[in-house]
Structure 1
Amino acid sequence: MSKPDCSKLHIAMFPWVAYGHFIPFLHLSNKLAQKGHKISFLLPKGVQPRLENMNHFPDLIQFFPLLLPQVDGLPPGAETASVVPMNQQKYLAFSVDQTRDQVESIFKVLKPDVVFYDFWFWIPDLARQLGISPIFYSVVCSMGMGLGLNAKKLTRETTVEEAIELPPGYPSSTVRLKAEEAPSLLFVVEDFGSGLSFDERIRVGLIESDAIAFRTYREIEGPFLDYVAQGSGKPVLLSGPCLPGTETQQLDDKWVKLLSQFEPRSVVFCAFGSQSQLQKDEFQELVLGFELCGHPFLVALKPPKGCSSVEEALPEGFQDRVKGRGLVYDDWVPQQLLLQHPSIGCFVNHCGYGTMWEFLLSDCQIVLIPELTDQILNTRLMVNELNIGVEVERDKNRQVSKESLSEAVKFVMDKDNETANMFRANHAKLKETLSNKDLQEQYINNFIQALKDLVKRKS
């Protein structure tokens, strides 16, 4: 009788330098370390203190700080995308590209079996020289990856019609961009450091990998995952969403006290993630929409551009009018725990990928206002394919009016509306499947076995 394979892997992690990438990579690291695997996590030096409290296995997960060189155009001391405007992020990417020698030195000493990466197009070449298996780990949806791999290559001459044209065999005619959203795609052809466009960085990283991994379940994105596998010719590995459990966490008393004064499922909660920052007029229109909807609400947003606090940005008389039923908050909130509170009945959000998994595991009605390309594709999947929520209508300038937001919220919160009740039933059914505790366990076990198989074939 052969002995079971008890070998433990040594895995390096090297995500793009944004918290929306660090955190999912660290969530995956925790799941792998829980199974006894060793993790070496590469990140800019100044980021480490902010992530240490999320490292649940410090004996197995070790951070390796990189010193990012100063490059022309990059604000002094900048290490993450959160402090660098989008039009300057190519300098940040170029700075991290200059750490290749540091990364090589670390890998030569550590000798990991596998390295997970996303933006660093040069990692596959370096990894192969050192006998390491390079795996592209996507922190966004497979729909966008499928389009990127199989669609015509975008250029500065690409027309709107060409930009939104679906490639042959794409699994859905509804999970797509509209013509007015095409400009959000065209930034991918701009220079993004080291003489490559954003699109070329991702494309090279995908094509040169040994496998492509996603933090998803087949139950949500199955046909799109098959399309990526077909278009890339690579194994597609699924880790599951890897969200940390909330069983041992409790909502602070201040939130419990605030929310418990309202009826069950009556409060509208709004959050747009840590990166989003609205213009002042957009911010004002949004909060006026919550006032108009008539429901109690909690809005957690950064102060809009040009404002030092949300208070100074609020419309005149707003706070007096909504006193006792509405709160606008400009600091971090425990989103995952808030979504579990029985008073929260509706969640208005941008449909970022991490947020998407959190609301899928909640009991809330869903209202979506996506901005970026991947958020738009996530939204179309939720609204058009899974039928669990609504997307707020925008005007011809892609602005959201207070009336359209209010109408969307009132629509999903109407207990007598058949369509709203269908959304609720569809969501409940999906939640039941996804919240099965054995499901994430099954996915991570299969994921680890697939990694071992890849390493074994390489050796």
Structure 2
Amino acid sequence: MGKTVAASEQLHIVMIPWFAYGHILPYFELSNKLAEKGHKITLVVPNKVKLDLEPKIRHPSLISLHAFTVPHIEPLPPGTETCSDVPIELQHHLAVAMDRARPEVESIISAIDDPKPDLLFYDNAYWVPEIATKLGMKSVFYQIACALSITRIKQTPSASASASASAKLFTLPKWVLTPKVLGDARANYGEGITYYQRVKKALSSCDAIALRTCREIEGESSDILAAQYNKPVFLTGPVLPEVEFLPPLDNSWAEWLAKFGPKSVVLCCFGSQYVPDKAQLQEMALALEDTGLPFLMSVKPPTECATIEEALPEGFSERVKERGVVHGGWVQQLQILAHPSVGCFICHCGYGSMWEGLLSDNQLVLLPQLPDQLMMAQMLAEKLKVGVMVDREEDDGWVSRKNLCQAVKSVMDPHSEFAALLKNNHANFRDKLLTNGFMANYLEVFDQDLKRFLTAN
């Protein structure tokens, strides 16, 4: 028999996200949204993350941050706390650090009694349900990325590209199934546990599943997960930061973008994990040069280069200096997408970037790098028909200068019927997402779902 929860009752929810800002920030944004409904939220995060997030809390009387120390794991550099601190090939060591932090995390949760938490939200920390059971709480696996990708977790990795009920529309090419991209399915992601085992255990052990999506995009995947795991599945909607709460665009970028006409600039961003090799970066940079359009490319320097400048093709910076920038650091993606000079977004289809692209009014060129990103790109290109996916080599995923340039030109040609079709489809879908009350309704239903879930259980 579950607890009695009145419609107006405050819940206390503890959240333990994976040590990556792509996970932490969606959890943080959901915290702000749930606090707006009067719920108390406790986020359990690494020390430096606490310092970073504290100034951004919108409801300090309802949201608290509890910091813990991430254990040092060789060969990670001292002070490593999030995936942003290390290259992708070292991030499996962070999973070891997360698991070894369990005693401190459990101690923090056990000590919270003002009031005692009702729910524990988590993702990669597959051991959270054991803590929840011990403390008399309920656990919710909160997936902040593509729901379709976890419908395949029950299968072996080698079979993940084969036909399944959740993937009739989707096929994965050879390049995305290579160890270079997918990783070694047998390799540990933690101590004595692979990534697939980790996620499968996290899904199998929870009391409920929550997804950062909406039925209009992933309704089928939501239903499949509910059937696969015989658990309730709740949807939060996209849960993106609201522009009014973001800092304004830096003057340097605002002044540079103001040099160009409306909807003329191409923004190309690859997120915090993807690091191209020098040859691939040069090929993509040359493709942007060939478009003849102004562009801003944000990408991490190749591992073999100390700076982004030394990775660029010879003479490139001089040729494009009036209209092109390749930036080796982070940029204010959401604010740049909203600038009137930007007209095209080359998106890697990381889940947050995918939503930001959909909610912008820019043409979308899709260049995914990881399996879940590819699934979302296929959804946008083949099902919703709101963007174009860049053709690439089947075996190794090489992105050619010609193909990337052609993809950008195909959506930026003002006389193209294809470009007009994509633009119209995108505008219609964007209008639906931005309809007054659309996102608020998802959060309201999610709020009621959580209360009913606690009452029933």
TM-score tier, shorter chain, comes to over 0.9
Corresponding position: 1:328 with 2:332:
no
Aligned amino acid, residue 31 of structure 1: K
Q: 1:143 aligns with which of 148, 153, 173?
A: 148
Counterpart-to-counterpart distance in 1, 2:48 and 2:304: 26
Corresponding position: 1:402 with 2:395:
no
Identify the residue that residue 304 of structure 2 maps to in structure 1.
306
Structure 1: runs of 5 or more not aligned: none
| CA gap 1:272/1:90 in 2 versus in 1, 3 angstroms | closer
- Report percent identity of matched pairs: 41
Query: How much does 1:338 deviate?
Result: 1.1
Correspondence 1:262-411 to 2 at 5 A: 262-395=260-393, 396-411=395-410
* Preserved CA contact (<8 Å) 1:18 1:82: yes
Q: CA RMSD in A?
A: 1.8
Cα offsets for 1:340-399 (capped at 9, x unmatched): 122111111211000000010111111111111111111111111111111111124321
Aligned amino acid, residue 33 of structure 1: A
Provide the TM-score with structure 2 as the length reference: 0.93
Correspondence 1:53-72 to 2 at 5 A: 53-72=55-74
Counterpart-to-counterpart distance in 2, 1:198 and 1:73: 19
Query: How much does 1:411 deviate?
Result: 0.8
Moved more, 66-75 or 21-30: 66-75
Moved more, 415-424 or 76-85: 76-85
* Greater RCO structure (CA 8 Å; 6+ sep): 2
Q: 2:214 aligns with which of 194, 214, 217?
A: 217
Identify the residue that residue 171 of structure 2 maps to in structure 1.
176
* Preserved CA contact (<8 Å) 2:347 2:357: no
Aligned length: 446
Structure 2: runs of 5 or more not aligned: none
Correspondence 1:17-36 to 2 at 5 A: 17-36=19-38
| CA gap 1:336/1:71 in 2 versus in 1, 3 angstroms | closer
Give the secondary-structure state (helix, strand or coil) at the position aligned to 1:440.
Answer: helix
Corresponding position: 1:420 with 2:426:
no
* Preserved CA contact (<8 Å) 1:147 1:166: no
Counterpart-to-counterpart distance in 2, 1:423 and 1:61: 41
Query: How much does 1:436 deviate?
Result: 1.8
Give the secondary-structure state (helix, strand or coil) at the position aligned to 1:247.
Answer: helix
Query: How much does 1:190 deviate?
Result: 1.7
Counterpart-to-counterpart distance in 1, 2:75 and 2:234: 37
Correspondence 1:36-115 to 2 at 5 A: 36-110=38-112, 111-115=116-120
Query: How much does 1:248 deviate?
Result: 5.5
Counterpart-to-counterpart distance in 1, 2:120 and 2:143: 13
Moved more, 342-351 or 295-304: 295-304
* Preserved CA contact (<8 Å) 2:146 2:376: yes
Cα offsets for 1:384-419 (capped at 9, x unmatched): 111111111112432111111111111111122212
Aligned amino acid, residue 43 of structure 1: V
Aligned amino acid, residue 172 of structure 2: L
Q: 2:244 aligns with which of 235, 242, 247?
A: 247
Counterpart-to-counterpart distance in 1, 2:396 and 2:330: 30
Query: How much does 1:89 deviate?
Result: 2.8
| CA gap 1:251/1:78 in 2 versus in 1, 3 angstroms | closer
Counterpart-to-counterpart distance in 2, 1:18 and 1:51: 13
* Preserved CA contact (<8 Å) 2:264 2:343: yes
Query: Which aligned runs of 4 or more in structure 1 are off by greater than 6 angstroms?
Result: none
Counterpart-to-counterpart distance in 2, 1:101 and 1:256: 47
Counterpart-to-counterpart distance in 1, 2:75 and 2:321: 45
Aligned amino acid, residue 354 of structure 1: G
